Amino acid sequence: MIQQEQAISNLSVEAWCVALDVSPSGYYAWRDRDTSPHQQADARLGDEIERVFAHSRRTYGSHRVWLKLRDDGIRPSRKRVERLMRERGLRSIRARKRRIGLTKAGQSAYFAPNRLQQDFHATRKNEKWVTDTTYIPTREGWLYLVSVMDLFSRQIVGWAMGEHHDADLATSALDMAVCRAQPAPGLIVHSDRGSEFANAKFHGRAAEAKIRLSMNSTGNCYDNAAAESFFATVKLEAIPEGIFASRQQARMALFDYIEVFCNRQRLHSGIGYARPVSRAA
């Protein structure tokens, strides 16, 4: 019972022992009875693996679990972590492939040259940002999310949610990013050619902040692959059931995912499995 509840709640074994008025030594002695030292060590390591897995919101595979254990001062081999996760049935959430196209800009839209040219490497923060829009399914209808990511830290520096993917939503996300990060003149902000970005309001706000806008080449979705990869991760990790009951539930879950988990806790493979806020510091 303690092992199962500890994995779900993310509380330590010691905390559960206190709650149940059981001594930790007594619990371990009961659990490890009639087992070999190797089996006992596997059981203890398995508890730590379940703790890390639960803390990751069931999103970490064996590699990230192994890295987090090392960060916590526990240094098993990666193959051992893989084996114990397999034995305990711990599998990270799998992606679902689905995409719906959003509104394209008309002929009278405002466009910018492709300054990024698929170069997603940045040498300092506030050098290159990418922004994009995605839809979030709820039983009340779509909720649209615009994010702004710093390519150096992979931190989401700005975001906005609303029922319409329009210039106001895109500009709100940009405003948050500029207010939070205070970038110097010359920052590149790259987007696709959607109507929420290819308009006078968004371009005007960028000009006020001395931002250089960049846009996808016509018909090339790979030009904004970094932003689209983030949204694929959001739908994989933040919406495990595939749909929210309401837009309000979606807003609360996405706020928690972006600001608490993604920016501050998640180990990001694109920056050497560091945390975005640590990289941005």
256 DSSP assignment? I
Percent of the chain with pLDDT over 90: 58
CATH of the domain at 140: 3.30.420.10
User: Does one domain contain both 50 and 142?
Assistant: no
pLDDT tens digits, one per residue of 75-92: 999 999 999 998 888 888
The residues with which 107 forms a beta bridge, in sequence order, are: none
d(CA 178, CA 144) in angstroms, rounded, equals 20
User: Does one domain contain both 49 and 155?
Assistant: no
Residue 115 lies in a domain: no
Residue 217 lies in a domain: yes
Residue 163 lies in a domain: yes
Confidence of residue 42 (pLDDT cuts 50, 70, 90): confident
User: Does one domain contain both 156 and 214?
Assistant: yes
d(CA 103, CA 161) in angstroms, rounded, equals 16
User: Does one domain contain both 81 and 154?
Assistant: no
User: Does one domain contain both 17 and 67?
Assistant: no
Residue 111 lies in a domain: no
pLDDT tens digits, one per residue of 219-232: 777 889 999 999 98
Domain count, the chain: 3
Asked if 265 contacts 126 with a C-beta cutoff of 8 angstroms, the reply is no
The upper half-sphere exposure of residue 110, i.e. CA atoms within 13 Å in the direction of its Cβ, equals 16
User: Does one domain contain both 166 and 265?
Assistant: yes
Residue 138 belongs to domain spanning: 128-278
Residue 103 lies in a domain: no
Residue 98 lies in a domain: no
pTM exceeding 0.75: no
User: Does one domain contain both 42 and 165?
Assistant: no
Confidence of residue 256 (pLDDT cuts 50, 70, 90): very high
Q: What is the mean pLDDT of residues 91-114?
A: 65
If one compares 281 and 187, the residue with the highest pLDDT of the two is 187
